[in-house]
Amino acid sequence: AKTPVTLLGLGAMGTALARTWLAAGHPVTVWNRTPSRATALAADGASVAATAAEAVAANTLVVVCLLDDASIDQALAGTDLTGRDLVNLTTSTPEQARARAAWAHERGARYLDGGIMAVPPMIGVPQAGGYVFYSGSRELFDRHRPTLAVPVDTRWVGEDPGHAALHDVALLSAMYGMFAGAAHAFALIRKEDIDPTALAPLLADWLTAMAPAVHQTADQLRTGDYTTNVVSNLAMQVAGTPTFLATAEQQGVSPELLTPYFDLMRRRLAEGNGNEDLTGVVDLLLR
Ligand code: NDP
């Protein structure tokens, strides 16, 4: 028999998760603060609990997918979690996840934290490439992995309950840096007779070609030797920055997304590291 799942939270993400478990034949008990959001799922076979406490009492495996950490306190206040396997897919900070793990343990529950690297349309679509980072109780992960892998793939990142959230935020932070660079690139051509849809494939291919550079950065961070073995060392790259700033100026584009990174490159060069790659910027960010 398929493992029964209790799911708290029927927002866009929770609803997508519930649908895939139902479709795969798992008995699903759902609860949502606003009951009307459960109506369609009930028609698809979900049991709808009147209260969060009732939903938690229904099954050992309790998955939480609420808006934020504070909403977990509100939803689960006064609920008996003794003996429950709590899997928290609510986006949180590493500190919140660690505190939530301690909170669950105090209440007699086991705890697994998840960071979802997918948007709702990717749930139940394996070829979309989404997955969830998991950290916390390895025992819980091993026990429930077949169930947890039904909606979206799983990636284990360690026993520290904060590490799923940390990996989640690290990847999304890098994504925002990429979006920032793309925004600047589009701004540069915006006033010209250049079709943005012609630039887009060039941009996507270039970013894809550059992405593997993260492996070299990682290797250098591990060895502590940042000396470049490619031709574009830091001194050369800093020497090129005026071209970027002048081009922005000429195109009537604010350099505000570029200058913070250029400033860090210059600081690293000023410290006498012109023969390095860009890896030293990582150290400058550490407070
Ligand atoms: P939605 O905004 O669609 O849904 C929020 C859910 O939280 C609803 O079920 C809402 O209930 C509930 N909620 C909010 N406040 C409270 C509260 N105080 N007490 C009880 N319930 C509350 O969010 P999503 O479903 O999209 O996201 C859920 C989690 O998944 C978030 O942590 C989000 O960061 C994460 N996530 C979402 C992604 C996405 O693309 N959507 C991608 C990756 C992660 P009600 O219906 O009553 O308002």
pLDDT digits over 83-127, tens only? 999 999 999 999 999 999 999 999 999 999 999 999 999 999 999
C-alpha 49 to ligand 1 mean position (Å): 18
Residue ranges covered by each domain of the chain? 5-159, 167-285
Atom of ligand 1 nearest to the CA of 92: 32
Distance CA 287, CA 280 (A): 14
Ligand 1 within 6 A of 90 CB?
Answer: yes
Average pLDDT value for residue range 210-234: 92
Q: Do domains 5-159 and 167-285 have the same CATH topology?
A: no
- Confidence (pLDDT) at 228: 85
pLDDT at residue 284 greater than cutoff 90 = yes
- Confidence (pLDDT) at 238: 96
C-alpha 181 to ligand 1 mean position (Å): 29
Tokens of 264: 């860090």
> Does the domain formed by 5-159 have CATH 3.20.10.10?
no
- Confidence (pLDDT) at 229: 77
Average pLDDT value for residue range 53-73: 98
C-alpha 10 to ligand 1 mean position (Å): 7
Ligand 1 within 6 A of 91 CB?
Answer: yes
Residue whose token pair is 């679509």:
125
CB 44 within 8 A of CB 179: no
Ligand 1 within 6 A of 120 CB?
Answer: yes
Helices 163-189/94-106 angle, 10° precision: 150
pLDDT at residue 164 greater than cutoff 80 = yes
- Confidence (pLDDT) at 39: 96
Q: Which sign, positive or negative, has the C-alpha torsion 275, 279, 283, 284? A: positive
Spatial CA neighbour of 87 closest among 22, 169, 8: 8
CB 132 within 8 A of CB 117: yes
Distance CA 196, CA 271 (A): 39
Ligand 1 within 6 A of 109 CB?
Answer: no
C-alpha 14 to ligand 1 mean position (Å): 7
- Confidence (pLDDT) at 52: 98
pLDDT at residue 231 greater than cutoff 80 = no
Q: Percent of the chain having pLDDT more than 70?
A: 100
Task: For domain 167-285, give the CATH number.
Answer: 1.10.1040.10
